[in-house]
Structure 1
């Protein structure tokens, strides 16, 4: 089997925006021979099913109950493995990858220590496509921080991930990617970022912070680039973020700076200052504190 036939793609769905999903899949169809869709209980599942039902290259599975991103990712990995694939590209439903993604990834499949391959991420307009095109980036960046690789548009080495215990289903959502990255890096495997390919991602609802946007335009400092758009999460997402980040830093010795207690506290303070005014800061922090306490329920 050639390298191209070893690669499939998979998407975990939950109430996706149909037009964006269609665009996502139309780009993937040109790059892989098979796409698996795992639906975590979407209310618009009939529309999704009718959209892709007659395409042999797309396999759709509907799960009545939302069991979280980890469960969905494991389903995709297991299904890909059963059908003879050794690599699976995992995509978010609302992310769009470049049309050269798999072409660039295939250049780096021979190294048996490579477990995950990711693209350059254009996140919430913190880096625009025009800015990316004008950057002078190395062909490959070695990822050493578990927070620097996300599951969306990540090409996953199926045998290695299965060997390491797969994705953690207990986390449900948030830091599922950090958990698998910690397993990969802590066991001596590699994560590489291919900068000649990109992925456009929308995390939450981006809220522009005019002060930092002005500072970035004046200084072009990367710290202000990161701060110029605040990702607006629901209180439920803040709960999972707090709970799961504590799990990560208490489970792995090398968990990365951006899962540390100090960083996470500063992160939530940033949200408190720059979230839209109609958000209840009390309910936000109530969710964050509850998540911090509930970490113990995850067990070992």
Structure 2
């Protein structure tokens, strides 16, 4: 399949650092085209970094009029990739680093027998520590209930069936939503554990707590608003499945760090409470986005 399929990569850029240049260059060695979505227009530092990115072969910069969010940003690149005739779309956050041979490994998962695969993703490693996240130390290709956006490879056939990301979510749980829609459509999500993506969650910094080394995400109050709001929306849409209990365990650990170790605890708690109310009040409609 790798010899015939046309693959476009989409990289979402919001005030990126110079590290994005190296990652896009690595992507250019594997993908046929790269669409870098500029989600921070009229920012001089971003313009300087993306000018270097734009000089890489096969790169197209897609400037947005404002910060349209993760969902709409990914969609802008995905629409362009599909309009240009690509068979697969491979999406990335700017804080992820692709590994050599990753595309070949992910494409191979779509040849698996059985129900069609909609999305294939790599195993995840913490960029800060160099250690694989919990549950990632496996091998082979295994079915999943959800995949994170960064590093995920989508088939054109699946996107035409389930649509793109729900742009009203803006950020957080965007990946859960499109994953669950794929499952509801009878498609598969798989993780290829033999290829690894280095990924950083939030503005992660090292800290100490009770003599132990920990890493704090330091998400802004705005992120806590969207995380809480969208978690409630996911519960309303998809119920309390396995995803919820895994997510609840992660959220509990994260909030312990927020309450005991991070600054601006008050604004973060208030933002989360506003998100809770907004999630309950959110008007549910058809989420298929073309």
Note the 1:37-186 alignment, pairs <5 A: 37-42=36-41, 43=43, 44-111=45-112, 113-123=116-126, 125=128, 128=131, 137-144=138-145, 146=146, 149-186=147-184
- Any conservation in 2 of the 1:249–1:259 contact (CA below 8 Å)? no
Asked whether the 8 Å contact 1:126–1:229 carries over to 2, the reply is: no
Whether the aligned pair in 1 keeps the contact of 2:12 and 2:93 (CA below 8 Å) is yes
Change (3 A) 1:254 1:182: farther
- Structure 1 stretches lacking a partner, 5+ long: 216-227
Tell me the CA shift for residue 171 of structure 1: 0.6
The more displaced of 161-170 and 199-208 is 199-208
Q: Unpaired segments of 5 or more residues in structure 2?
A: 285-290
Structure 1 Cα separation of the partners of residues 2 and 103 of structure 2: 13
Q: Deviations over 1:28-51 (max 9, x none)?
A: 111112101111134134324421
The residue matched to 2:204 in structure 1 has which SS?
A: strand
- Report the CA distance between 1:117 and its aligned residue: 0.6
User: Is this contact kept in 2: 1:77–1:158, CA < 8 A?
Assistant: no
- The alignment partner of 1:110 has SS state of coil
Superposition RMSD on alpha carbons, in Å?
A: 2.8
TM-score, normalised relative to structure 2: 0.85
Calculate the TM-score normalised by the size of structure 1.
0.82
Q: Distance in 2 between matches of 1:54 and 1:299?
A: 43
Question: How much has 1:299 moved relative to structure 2?
Answer: 1.4
Tell me how far 1:21 sits from its aligned partner: 0.4
Q: Residues 1-300 of structure 1 correspond to what in structure 2 (within 5 A)?
A: 3=3, 5-17=5-17, 19-42=18-41, 43=43, 44-111=45-112, 113-123=116-126, 125=128, 128=131, 137-144=138-145, 146=146, 149-208=147-206, 210=208, 214=212, 228-253=214-239, 255-258=241-244, 263=249, 266-267=252-253, 269-276=255-262, 279-296=263-280, 298-300=282-284
Give structure 1 regions of 4+ aligned residues with deviation exceeding 6 angstroms: none
Summarize deviations over 1:2-21 as a string: whole Å, max 9, x none: 6454211111111111x210
Structure 2 CA distance for partners of 1:207 and 1:58, relative to 1, 3 Å:
closer
